[in-house]
A and B are shown apart, each in its own frame.
Chain A
Amino acid sequence: MMKVLFVCSGGMSSAIVVSALKKEGAKQGIDIEVLAVGSQEFDAEVRNGWDVAMVAPQVKHRFDGFKESADDAGVPCEAIPAQAYSPLGGPKLLKLVTELAKL
């Protein structure tokens, strides 16, 4: 079971990407728990035992702040490349997330 936390501006758009990731995970038989939060909730939420934190591309200018919170919590944190942030980007995203979780 892999626990992935997403952060975007309001937690809305990443919800769509989240469902793409879940679908791809189910296809490949990987059990994933995903939650999408808005930027304000991230600092508190990232401390709740996540394996990976992913930052949506539209808030990449706030990446340093998110990374700081994630480092505090000891969670690996990475920005999502723009091409993977799409309803059809599931496979790419899953690959990225599983690689990051192994670190």
Chain B
Amino acid sequence: MDKFVAFLENNLSTPMAKLSEQKHLRAIRDGVVSALPFIIFGSLFLIIAFPPVAADSAVGEWAAKHIAEILIPYRLTMFIMTLYITFGIGYSLSQSYKLDPLSGGLLSLAAFLFTIGVKMMDGVGFVLPMTNLGGHGLFVGMLVSIFAVEILRLCKTKNITIKMPDSVPTSVARSFEALIPVTIVLLVMTVITVVFGVDMHSLVDKAVAPLISAGDTLPGVLVPVFLITFFWSFGIHGVSVVGAVARPVWEVYLANNSAAVAAGKAIPHIAPETFFQWFIWIGGSGATLGLVIAMLLTAKSSYSKAMGKATIVPSIFNINEPVIFGMPIVLNPVLIIPFIITPLIGATLAYVATSMGLVNPTYVMVPWTLPAPIGAYLSTGGDWRAIVLVMVNLTISVIIYLPFFKMYDKKLLAQETSVETTDNKKIAL
């Protein structure tokens, strides 16, 4: 068993985790993460615009009347998230190459704007259509920021730059340094989007369409769920590894869902990241709040009793590293089994409930440290049935964890009593 575990760790989980540290993947992840505060802020206005109250109540009528104004903060943040993300990707990627991050961020942003196209509107002047600035344009944003920063890097390493005499102040010299890469990147973008009139968004849309539809199926939900707990079983932060690849897709779902709500249309996707966060990861990856409750209910060994008390509060707020490393679940065959099974069952149930229309799909992003019932309620735009689903999944997780925990606790208790009989009052940690 130990050999098998070591084999998996050395040949599978560690190499895969290292892969997620690939520079471009990491830059995309960090870029998306840097935009999350804006996405959270903007999505809260969706709740105000569509408050969870009766439509004919005073609040409901007020919201319906002022919906366009209420949604302005949403339109300027979440609705155009790719604008922010593109800058973030360019910034992070240049930073990892030790290039000037500000130049990289700005150049990526400019390259992305070239894919949007300018329109003339009577009475308004020139406008940028906003649709592709949002989640819809995310994949194009990723591509052009990587392209922009790679050109920047190429110019730097090949020393293609305008050299200023030493007497020129450094800040002035730097702005000239960026001139050649900026010219190359933006000329290429001009040729593609203006001269040839290529709509990069519709091209990329077609290319990623299979990925977008695959991620929204039941297997598309179960695979990342399994991988996340699989990585955690070796002590590796599963969400940060799997998210490096899956998060762009999850963000597109969230953006599409929120845009549909704002436009008064049916919500298209089941599985944005918020779906995983609130219905599956109750108490953190592996739905470990169920384990902690099982600990509080039945712990016999003094170690489990102490752990249960120490981890219940952080678990309510979805922080479970203390449980994962403290119990530990990591490399612990007894607890890894329910740790992997519980989220798969929770995910299936939540997927079926959402696709049958028993619970609203999620479209609001709230901070992940909220207790699950509150987070689920808010992210479904105030659907009380989401709380019921969370409670059902939580109960199931307690039931699954319970027998495995008891088995492990018995072992701990036996260790403690044997240590005590050898007259060592200290509990082996």
Contacts and interface: CB of A to CB of B under 8 A. Distances in A.
Interface of A: 8-9, 12-14, 16-17, 40, 56-62, 65, 82-83, 85-89, 91-92
Given A40-B30, A61-B17, A85 B237 contact: no
Nearest to A90: B429
13 contacts: A12-B369, A13-B314, A14-B321, A57-B325, A57-B330, A58-B235, A58-B237, A58-B324, A61-B21, A85-B325, A86-B326, A89-B325, A89-B326
B33 A40 contact: yes
A58 B321 contact: yes
Contacts of B369: 12
Given A61-B21, A85-B321, A16 B235 contact: no
A16 B319 contact: yes
B310 A87 contact: yes
Contacts of A89: 325-326, 429
Interface residues of B, number: 33
B155 interface: no
Interface in B262-320: 303, 306-307, 310-311, 314, 319-320
A49 B413 CA distance: 44
Interface of B: 14, 17-18, 20-21, 30, 33-34, 232, 235-237, 239-241, 303, 306-307, 310-311, 314, 319-322, 324-326, 328, 330-331, 369, 429
A7 B353 CA distance: 38
A61 B25 CA distance: 14
B241 A88 contact: no
B314 A16 contact: yes
A60 to B, nearest CB: 7
Given A8-B321, A40-B33, A61-B18, A88 B326 contact: yes
A92 B303 CA distance: 16
Contacts of A12: 319, 369
A58 B236 contact: yes
